Amino acid sequence: MIRCGFFDLSQDDILLNISVWLNCSGASDLKVTAREGGTVYILWFGEFDANVLISKAFTIELMLNGKYTFHINNTFIYDFVTFPTRQGFMRVKWATPNGKSRMNMLIVRDRVIFNGHKYNVIFEGIGPSGEYKLSTSYLNYVPILFRNRLEMPYACPVYFIGLDVSLT
């Protein structure tokens, strides 16, 4: 999956243009079709309807009870582009057409502890059409004592990409 996007622009402000080049040999029965359409959800942390939001670049990121609802008409392909990596926690709850799922993640000195689901069940996936309700809370911060010892000494907020596309 390609992970890129402009997280602070509405979908009407940008044009996504992706070109694909295929070189196939010895496949005489191969058919290639092109299709356009769908909806792209590129969310930065300010677009979640959160009760509390604190962001100090590279130092601390906090969101409590961030919510977003998607109505998907086709197939939903989603990915959390970033998640806490330094010290803190993340909690994700999904209400999906397939049911409910939740994940708790705790990070202590760069060690990740999961409670519940495996990593890819929550952070990335493909789902059917229907109503999706996402709720997330997280804290990501760089401890003062360890800032000079880390190879990437910064905290980052959560970004999310979702695609409502017809797969045929």
Give the tens place of pLDDT for each residue, 77-96. 888 877 777 788 888 888 98
Residue type (1 letter), 103: M
Structure confidence at residue 3 (pLDDT): 42
Q: In this structure, how many other beta carbons lie within 10 angstroms of the beta carbon of residue 6?
A: 12
Residue type (1 letter), 104: N
Give the tens place of pLDDT for each residue, 109-132. 667 777 755 554 567 888 899 999
Spatial strand order of the sheet with 52-56 comes to: 52-56, 60-72, 130-141, 87-96, 99-108, 111-116
- If one compares 6 and 110, the residue with the highest pLDDT of the two is 110
Structure confidence at residue 11 (pLDDT): 54
Q: Which of helix, strand or coil describes residue 4?
A: coil
Percent share of the chain, pLDDT over 70: 70
Give the tens place of pLDDT for each residue, 23-40. 677 777 777 666 667 888
Structure confidence at residue 110 (pLDDT): 66
The domains located in the chain, with CATH, are 11-165 (2.60.120)
- Tokens describing residue 105: 């993640």
Structure confidence at residue 137 (pLDDT): 93
